[in-house]
Amino acid sequence: MAKPDNRADNVEHLQEHIQNTIDNLEESESYLNEHADEISSEERETLQNKNDRRRESLAAFREEVKDEAHSQDV
């Protein structure tokens, strides 16, 4: 038997994902700032692209939080 759809803690889980993504983004940016002259241009580009995707994910997570919060208010 399938479990019922319990969405009560979705906002909390999304906020955890947001915080983890922010932490990873900040750590990566710090690494880039500290070691930019020591790493290859390929590695730098890879990290910058990854950070771009993290920023996109953050925007999507935040929209999802808004949607979830709104659906819980209804």
pLDDT digits (tens, 9 = 90+) for 38-60: 999 999 999 999 999 999 999 99
Question: What pLDDT band is residue 5 in, cutting at 50, 70 and 90?
Answer: low
> How many structural domains is the chain composed of?
1
Could you tell me if residue 63 is inside a domain?
Answer: yes
The H or E element that residue 29 is part of is helix 10-35
Find the domain containing 74 and state its range: 42-74
Could you tell me if residue 9 is inside a domain?
Answer: no
- Tracing tokens 């990873």 back to the chain, one arrives at 24
Distance CA 40, CA 38 (A): 7
Distance CA 31, CA 5 (A): 40
pTM of the predicted structure, to 2 decimals: 0.82
Question: What pLDDT band is residue 74 in, cutting at 50, 70 and 90?
Answer: low
Distance CA 37, CA 49 (A): 18
Of residues 66 and 9, the one with the higher pLDDT is 66
